[in-house]
Amino acid sequence: MAELAIKKKRPKNLDLPTIRLPLPGILSIIHRISGAAMFLLLPFLLWLFQGSLTSPESFAGVKAVVGHPLAKIVLLGLVWFYMHHFCAGIRYLLLDLHKGVELEAARLSSKIVFGVSIALTLIIGARVLW
């Protein structure tokens, strides 16, 4: 009973900008953000796809929209979201199988996910968008 009466004062850090997340934590947050962004941008992508298939005139309009440099940057970001989400998803499947759950292995796999997703984005972006 005496232990319940004495409450330990635990330190609390509520200043969010000073909290430093480890790399696997950052990877997890970006994985969630990329999934939500892809879900929310899906109607836009379907609209572009529909416009490209409707008629030759609408295809030319979609080609003009996608040819704009700002649209290319947005599409490149979307490609990176997809590649990151895909690679991180494979990492999480391996973690579910208890592969790479140790601290060093988790940090290494996080670095690999970032490196592979950026490399794939650059390859696909150079091949498709430019």
Residue-wise pLDDT tens digits, 86-101: 999 999 999 999 999 9
Question: Is residue 103 pLDDT above 60, yes or no?
Answer: yes
- Overall domain count for the chain: 1
pLDDT band at 1 (very low <50, low <70, confident <90, very high): low
Q: What are phi and psi of 80, to 5 degrees?
A: -65, -40
- Would residue 34 count as lying in a domain? yes
Note whether residue 3 is domain-resident. Answer: no
CATH of the domain at 68: 1.20.1300.10
Rounded to two decimals, the pTM is: 0.82
SS3 labels along the chain: CHHHHCCCCCCCCCCHHHCCCCHHHHHHHHHHHHHHHHHHHHHHHHHHHHHHHHCHHHHHHHHHHHHCHHHHHHHHHHHHHHHHHHHHHHHHHHHHCCCCCCHHHHHHHHHHHHHHHHHHHHHHHHHHHC
User: Looking up tokens 């969010």, which residue turns up?
Assistant: 16
22-43 pLDDT, tens per residue? 999 999 999 999 999 999 999 9
Residue 95: give the domain boundaries: 25-129
For residue 72, is it within any domain?
yes
Predicted confidence at residue 4, as pLDDT, reads 58
7 falls within a domain: no
Confirm whether 12 is domain-assigned: no
CA count, 13 A, side-chain hemisphere, 48? 12
The pLDDT of residue 95: 97
